[in-house]
Chain A
């Protein structure tokens, strides 16, 4: 079974599979997104203290989750590529980085828009905001390093080392809430205690998070297909057009 799985580490074998998976994950993302937005705008109750403005949470929180999670996934692929020397792993890491950076920007921008009505200011030097900003810098550094190195093998391995070093920053983001005295509300959703929000709000957020997840998979697969074709353009299977 595992030998079959490892077959897909070959870009040539993975290319058609990825093509078939894209529509699956793309449609799931669209359906979940519609359902999530419906819950967000029509089902979830108005917040007692923040009124309607809190509804941006349905985009803000899933985007913030994805931005951190995608960095971990990216570092995971990068580390796998470094250890096993598989070409596809480095391509996956490259394909994930722009989506992760996009979600970081979305989390920051929605945070700014949410901060104005609730805190009265767009930006505060709060621990979580600041670490999200630096997460964006980590993504940009990763992409800039890969961009600057012409040899794709070297770019993959150098990027992998950087991603693994950057992963050390992720726990700092997560624990920063406890480390520094902060204006940001504490995490409202936790696995160990009851969430401090209405069940429908939580449901809407989880559905939106799933939608973001599916979207990330679909987009990364589409991007990795483009990277495969670009890197293997001289291979017979690409040139013959049998893909």
Chain B
């Protein structure tokens, strides 16, 4: 089973490496969204600092959403996905590897670039650190829940918009606690409880997202 996980992980990372544009575009989209807000709201430093966490988190949610079709759609088109589902390896092992690869190619880059965007918004040093930690903890949740949404809408009419409709409401707790951690740290409150809740959310999302994704893939390829 471990061998299967490593194999799928390596394969998905290799595919992402060969098509660098896909992952890079998501990152550029994230930066553009975050850079648009000051143009719309005005660049008053106090106001920017107040909206920073929310804007960066919503940008991360949208970027994660845009990256979801890449997770299964190409593998469905060339038949790889069907082979993975009927193979002797347990489906959760395959799915966990694919989700991990998705996080490594989207969530991790988003988390690493988030402090830079925070700098644009004038966040102080310790808030930047909290932002990095919160996005690091929160993006795996997005990948797990998002994978379930992507699997449910596999090969369905208008899948892209539908996926947004399905998963964005489920992203809400991650947004609340993720942005809450940064806001708490800005107002001098310890961000620990928010980060703990974010960790708890990850612990819940791991089995829930895995189960839902596997079940949805079986339904889609029935």
Residues on A with beta carbons closer than 8 Å to the beta carbon of B170: 165-166, 169
Q: Are B169 and A157 in contact (CB under 8 A)?
A: no
Q: How far is the CA of A140 from the CA of B222 in the complex (A)?
A: 25
Q: CB distance B219 to A157 under 8 Å?
A: yes
Inside 8 A of A161's CB, which chain B residues have their CB?
148, 152, 212, 215-216, 219
Closest to A130 in B: B172
Interface segment out of the listed A13-21, A56-64, A141-149: A141-149
Residue of A with least CB distance to B166: A141
Known A154-B222, A168-B208; contact A145-B169, beta-carbon cutoff 8 A: no
- Given A140-B165, A166-B170, the answer on whether A145 and B219 have CB atoms closer than 8 Å is no
B residues 151-167 in Cβ contact with A at 8 Å: 152-153, 156-159, 162, 165-166
Contact partner of A165 among B148, B153, B158, B219, CB < 8 A?
A: B148
- Give the residue name and chain of the B residue nearest to A154 (CB): B219
Given contacts A140-B165, A161-B212, A165-B170, is CB(A145)–CB(B152) below 8 Å?
A: yes
Q: Say whether A162 faces chain B, with CB atoms less than 8 Å apart.
A: yes
- In this complex, what residue of B is CB-closest to A139? B169
User: What B residues does A140 contact at CB under 8 A?
Assistant: 165
Chain A neighbourhood of B208, CB < 8 A: 165, 168
**Contact indicator A165/B212 (Cβ below 8 Å):** yes
Residues of chain A with a CB closer than 8 A to B152's CB? 145, 158, 161-162
**B166-190 interface with A by 8 A CB criterion:** 166, 168-170, 172-173
A164 touches B156 (CB 8 A): no
Q: Is the CB of A158 within 8 A of B162?
A: no
**Contact across chains for B162 and A162 when beta carbons are under 8 A apart:** no
A148 touches B162 (CB 8 A): yes
B158: A residues at CB distance < 8 A: 148
Question: Inside 8 A of A169's CB, which chain B residues have their CB?
Answer: 169-170, 172
B220 close to A (CB within 8 Å): yes
Contacts of B157 in A (CB 8 A): 148
Q: Is B17 an interface residue (CB 8 A)?
A: no
B204 within 8 A of A: yes
**Smallest Cβ distance from B207 to chain A, in angstroms?**
11
The docked-state distance in angstroms from the alpha carbon of A166 to that of B208 is 11
Q: How far is the CA of A145 from the CA of B158 in the complex (A)?
A: 10
A157 and B204 alpha carbons, distance in the complex (Å)? 22
Contact check, B166 vs A162: say whether CB atoms are below 8 A apart.
Answer: yes
**Residues A137 and B169 in contact, CB atoms below 8 Å apart:** yes
Cα–Cα, bound, A169→B145 (Å): 13
Question: B216 near A158 (CB under 8 angstroms)?
Answer: yes
A134–B156 CA distance with the chains assembled, in angstroms:
23
Give A contacts to B, CB under 8 Å.
82, 134, 137-138, 140-141, 144-145, 148-149, 153-154, 157-158, 161-162, 164-166, 168-169, 172
Further contacts, 13 of them, CB under 8 A, given A138-B169, A140-B165: A137-B165, A141-B166, A145-B152, A145-B156, A148-B153, A154-B222, A157-B215, A157-B222, A161-B152, A162-B212, A164-B212, A165-B208, A166-B170
Interface residues of B (CB under 8 A from A): 145, 148, 152-153, 156-159, 162, 165-166, 168-170, 172-173, 204, 208, 212, 215-216, 219-220, 222
Can you offer 9 A-B residue contacts whose CB atoms are under 8 A?
Answer: A137-B168, A144-B165, A158-B152, A158-B220, A161-B212, A165-B148, A165-B212, A166-B169, A169-B172
Give the 9 A-B CB pairs with smallest separation, nearest first.
A137-B169, A157-B219, A141-B166, A141-B165, A148-B156, A134-B169, A165-B212, A161-B215, A148-B157
